[in-house]
Amino acid sequence: MSVTELNALISLLEDPDEGIYNTVRKELERIGEAALPPLRTAITEEGHGEIFLSRAKELLDYLGTDEVRDGFAHWVDSDDHHVGRALLLLDRYLDPARSHADLEETMGRIRQDIWLELNDDMTALEQVKVINRIFFEHHGFAGTRGGAAKPAHALPREVLEQRKGNSLALGALYLAMAQELGLPIHGVNLPNHFILAYCDGGHLGEFSEDGSPGGVLFYINPFNKGGIIHPDEVNAFLGHLDLPVDQRNCGPCHPVDVVRRLIGNLAYAFERQEELEQAERMRELLFFVEGCSSPQRAERAE
């Protein structure tokens, strides 16, 4: 079907006749993802009535959900598992009618600013100091303090616009930048708090004499403007919680784990705010991503 024919078909959503609408809907559902771009464009155009907008948004939500799930399935099966891609998919899942080109542009600009300041002669600590200066000082990202869990503190779009987020959201964005720049930084599912680890790839997956994960040079706290944490401090923290110092609690985790935790965090935040429909949608997405994930991928970072 040509673009002209597709646009003509979409225009029929305006027709009040339910029979015509049902026929048009079935055809657009058959066309699938190819109908999404012109539907998104049509919604932004002036002159459409409430019937058209309601039907078009309903179709976008239906078709967009399938598109995002396919995207997540491909992402889980990919070799690179770039977290930035998953954040864009999550934004589209929350609002299929909206383009995420602006988010890509914002993330690309931050990444470019960091890249311009890095060079191959820098030590690991110097690299992290550059990221911290650009991310937290130049672009003004900061952690949210106090109060109940709120979706705005974890939603990629809100965090990028407001420059504020919880430790998980800030950590996911920080990790996305590091991955794109090829730096050996990984997420760490520390209990009650999400942090990052700068790793020595040559020893990743090995273990120290005390049983702690080997290969971790130091940890990074994205909630505290990228503050550096020595492994001994993390070990002591886990000791206070009577938890073992092991791969599960303080080792580098797989990017799929990071995204799963972020989606679960959003489900909890939506539920706390009594946005139950959105909370349920997040849980559905979480179950889907978990179903796509293999146990080997979820256990540890590559």
d(CA 193, CA 191): 5
Helix residue ranges, H only, 118-164? 124-132, 156-162
- Partners of 216 in the β-ladder: 199
Has residue 36 got a pLDDT over 70?
yes
Decide if domain 3-77 falls under CATH 1.25.10: yes
d(CA 42, CA 61): 14
- pLDDT score, position 57: 84
Least Cα distance to 191 among 127, 240, 135, 139 occurs for 240
**Cα 158 from chain centre:** 12
Cβ atoms within 10 Å of 247's Cβ, excluding its own:
18
Q: Vertex 259, ends 253 and 265: CA angle to 5°?
A: 110
Has residue 256 got a pLDDT over 80?
yes
| Window from 27-36, 161-170, 257-266 with minimum mean pLDDT | 27-36
- Chain segment 261-290, per-residue pLDDT in tens: 999 999 999 999 999 989 999 999 999 999
What percent of the chain shows pLDDT beyond 70?
A: 91
Domain ranges of the chain: 3-77, 83-299
* Coil, helix or strand at residue 272: helix
